[in-house]
Amino acid sequence: MLHQNQTCSEKKVLGKTGEKIPSIGFGTYNIKDFVSAERALLKAIELGASLIEVSDLYAYGLAMDLIRRVISKVKREEVFIVFRADPTLLTDPQSSIFKVEQRLRRMGVTYVDVIMPAGYPEFTSLETLAKVLEAIVDKELARYIGLGDFKLKDIVSIMSFLRKYEISMVQSRYNVLNRRIEKDLIPFTSENRITILACTALERGNVLKHPTILQIAGKYNATPAQVALSYLASRPNVVALTKSENIAHVVEDTEATKLCLKEEDLNILATL
Ligand SMILES: NC(=O)c1ccc[n+]([C@@H]2O[C@H](COP(=O)([O-])OP(=O)(O)OC[C@H]3O[C@@H](n4cnc5c(N)ncnc54)[C@H](OP(=O)(O)O)[C@@H]3O)[C@@H](O)[C@H]2O)c1
C-alpha cells in the first residue's frame, strides 16, 4: 500500500527536530500584485498556514520587502520562514554571514527558520557549503538547514560533511501530476526523517482541470486544488508549498488540511 502512514493533520514534524510546522505553506515567487499578496499571506498566517517561503532571487528582492511588511503586522514567532538563498552568497563562512545578515535586515528579521541554498553554488565544494550552512546556524541567523533542488547523491554527500547539525528539509518539485521523486527522494527522506517541501503543489494550476482530480473532488464536495494539496499532505514527511495572492484561494487551500482522502482515492491519484 502506498499511503500506509496517512496523516490528515494541519501540522507536520520538521525532520528530526520534534518541532511542528504547517502541512501547507505559501511561497512568494511570481507575485503579480504585492498588495494583494500581503493580504493573502496575512490571511494564511491567521488560518495557521504560517509557513512562508521567500528568496532573495524572487522579484529582484521585492519578495523580501513583502516579508518585512507581513512580519511587521504579526509576531515573528507566528511565522515559519524558509529562506531559499541565492547560492552565490554561500561561498565561504565569513562573507556568507555578512550577506545573509543583509538579507535578514531587509526582511526585518534577526533569523530565519530554515536556510536553504536555492541550488548549487558555483566554484564551491559541497564540503565548503556544509561548513557555510553550519556557520550560519552557529551564528543563530537560521535555526535549521535545508537544501533546495539538490540531487539525491549530493544530499547524501552534504549530510556526510555536516558535523554539528542535520538536514531538516529538502525542497523539490512535487505534486500529484509530477510524482518523479516518489521513486527515490521520498523513500530516502522518509527513512532519514527529512521533511520535503513540495513546491509547485498545484502544478501551476494544471491540477485544477484534470478529469480524475475533478471527479475525486466531487466525491468529497471539495475543490481540485484541495484534492491535490491533500494528496501531498497525506504523506507524513511532506509539506505542500503553493502560492496565492487571492484570499479566497488561500482559504480554500488552507482548508485542504481538513480533507482526509480515502486510501482508495489516494491510490487512484498515485497512478495519474
Ligand atoms: N515552480 C518552481 O519550480 C519552484 C521552485 C522553487 C520554489 N518554488 C516556490 O514554490 C511556490 C509554489 O510554486 P508555484 O507558484 O509553482 O505553485 P503552484 O501551487 O503550482 O501554483 C500556484 C498557482 O496556482 C494558483 N492557485 C493557488 N491556489 C489556488 C486555488 N485554490 N484555486 C485556483 N488557483 C489557485 C495561484 O494563483 P493565485 O495567486 O491567483 O491564487 C498560482 O498561479 C512558489 O511561489 C515558490 O515560492 C517554486
* Strand pairing class (11-13; 24-26): unpaired
* Other C-beta atoms lying within 10 Å of the C-beta of residue 102: 12
Banded pLDDT at 3 (limits 50, 70, 90): very low
Helix (H, G, I), strand (E, B) or coil at 49: coil
Q: How far apart are CA 236 and CA 8, in angstroms?
A: 9
Cell of 229: 494539496
pLDDT > 60? residue 173: yes
CA of 162 to the centre of ligand 1 (A): 32
Amino acid at 87: P
Average pLDDT, integer, range 68-89 = 96
Q: Whose CA is nearest to atom 32 of ligand 1?
A: 249
Task: List the one residue out of 269, 169, 186 whose CA is nearest residue 235.
Answer: 186
Return the pLDDT at 2. 35
**Secondary structure of 144-211 as H, E, C letters:** EEEEECCCHHHHHHHHHHCCCCCEEEEEEECECCECHHHCCHHHHHHHCCCEEEEECCCHHHHHHHCH
Predicted TM-score of the model (pTM): 0.95
> Which CATH number is 11-205+235-258 given?
3.20.20.100
CA-63 nearest atom, ligand 1: 47
- pLDDT tens, 222-265? 999 999 999 999 888 999 999 999 999 999 999 999 899 999 99
CA of 120 to the centre of ligand 1 (A): 23
CA-54 nearest atom, ligand 1: 47
Average pLDDT of the chain, as a whole number: 94
CA of 208 to the centre of ligand 1 (A): 12
For the chain, the structural domain boundaries read 11-205+235-258
CA of 72 to the centre of ligand 1 (A): 24
CA-206 nearest atom, ligand 1: 20
Banded pLDDT at 1 (limits 50, 70, 90): very low
pLDDT > 90? residue 177: yes
Beta bridge partners of 26: 52, 242
Q: Whose CA is nearest to atom 11 of ligand 1?
A: 27
Average pLDDT, integer, range 142-169 = 97
Average pLDDT, integer, range 53-76 = 97
CA of 45 to the centre of ligand 1 (A): 17
> What does the angle CA 133 – CA 22 – CA 112 come to, to the nearest 5 degrees?
30
pLDDT > 90? residue 32: yes
* Strand pairing class (195-199; 238-242): parallel
- Protein residues with CB under 6 Å of any ligand 1 atom: 27-30, 53, 173, 199-205, 208, 225, 241-246, 249, 252-253
Q: Residue 221: how many CA atoms within 13 Å on its side-chain side?
A: 1
Q: How far apart are CA 115 and CA 136, in angstroms?
A: 8
- pLDDT tens, 133-150? 999 999 999 999 999 989
